[in-house]
Structure 1
């Protein structure tokens, strides 16, 4: 039975996961891990945070800009760089998150809609609607999702 995102908590919960995650960009393997964290927040599909060492060497390049999350703190951004190709500000991290999210310090989240594909246990992820959100939609989660234009009350 799918998880209903309307039942996810607010403030969000942090959950360790051993699901097999594969991310590809520009036709290349960007990241692979079986150790991640899911952030579960009301009306959002899970956002996955992957250990920095699961990313291809040199693919994460610090980028300008920061943002603030009332739950996690200040995020900084990364470009995904494969030499001749770059995805600007496609990933982010919290170097010094709030105490509740300390386990994800230095871990990396990314926008699945900017990637060639993200897979969880072999299932291709659909990106959360809206350019600001980094949620990963699979058959294991049920909406409606924040950012979905079919649900303007959640935008």
Structure 2
């Protein structure tokens, strides 16, 4: 494994290399929107940010931030050593369905109980995710659900050569 040299944060930025492991969960009052099929399918100023070393934040939105009928539970699960077992959703609008694009932890571990009844979305699977009006860039790799904004400095896990970080 090659050593990683963190980018130097600019004014108003935070470094993902200052995030802890195990991750930290913090409330956010930023306005978060998710768009799919030409619709705003979720909107809230009551999200939670999951912050983990080398990862851009993952935003967890309260279930009630999603439009009715948008979240369709589907088969499948995955396991996180910190949060527990995740369940998945398809995202559904009148014009499009995106398979397994969102997830939740119905019974999270004690340290992450606040994410119960919250849902995270893969930003690369939807039309757009926005944080305070800024369009989010998806974390590379297709596995992680990090939301890259100008607020965070990397480099970010997920791209080629970052598996062992």
Alignment RMSD (CA, Å): 1.0
Residue number in structure 2 paired with 1:18: 29
Q: What secondary structure does 2:159 align onto?
A: coil
State the shift of 1:26 in Å: 1.0
State the shift of 1:82 in Å: 1.4
Runs (4 or more) in structure 1 with deviation over 3 Å come to none
Residue number in structure 2 paired with 1:49: 60
Q: TM-score, normalised by structure 2?
A: 0.90
| Aligned residue-pair number | 153
Residue number in structure 1 paired with 2:113: 102
**1:79–1:89: 8 Å Cα contact kept in structure 2?**
yes
Q: TM-score, normalised by structure 1?
A: 0.96
For 1:61 and 1:154, the matched residues in 2 are separated by 31
Residue number in structure 2 paired with 1:31: 42
Q: What secondary structure does 2:111 align onto?
A: helix
Residues 16, 88 of structure 1: CA spacing in aligned structure 2 closer, same or farther, 3 A cutoff?
same
Structure 1 window deviating more from structure 2 (55-64 vs 80-89): it is: 80-89
Return the match for 2:155 from 133, 138, 144: 144
Give structure 2 stretches of 5+ with no counterpart.
1-11
Q: What secondary structure does 2:17 align onto?
A: helix
Give structure 1 stretches of 5+ with no counterpart.
none
Residue number in structure 1 paired with 2:81: 70
In our comparison, the structure showing a higher alpha carbon Rg is: 2
**2:37–2:94: 8 Å Cα contact kept in structure 1?**
no
